[in-house]
Amino acid sequence: LKAGEMIAELRASLDHQHGGAIAKQLDALYSFMLRELLAANRKQDARKIDGVIRMASELRDAFAQVVAGGAGAAGATPVARGA
């Protein structure tokens, strides 16, 4: 359940007041990922876990690209609370 805790923390850190559409989209994605992990645990379905891992990896890569300046869109950076 550590993966679920990490995703829940990411979701809780979103700043909807300043994050705009990206915060809303990330919230929906994190919510979906949490539901998938719960379903995977309940049904013992490793494919669901693999899907969440794939989504998290793609999201990590996208964040890394934004941080490195590869995205070219300053407004695309998600805003965390307290940032």
Strand partners, 14: 80
Give the pLDDT confidence score for residue 82 in this predicted structure. Answer: 54
pLDDT tens by residue, the chain, 83 residues: 699 999 999 999 999 999 999 999 999 999 999 999 999 999 999 999 999 999 999 999 999 999 998 655 545 555 555 54
pTM: 0.77
What is the spatial distance between Cα 82 and Cα 69, in angstroms, rounded to a whole number? 22
Give the pLDDT confidence score for residue 83 in this predicted structure. Answer: 47
Report whether 78 contacts 22 (CB < 8 A): yes
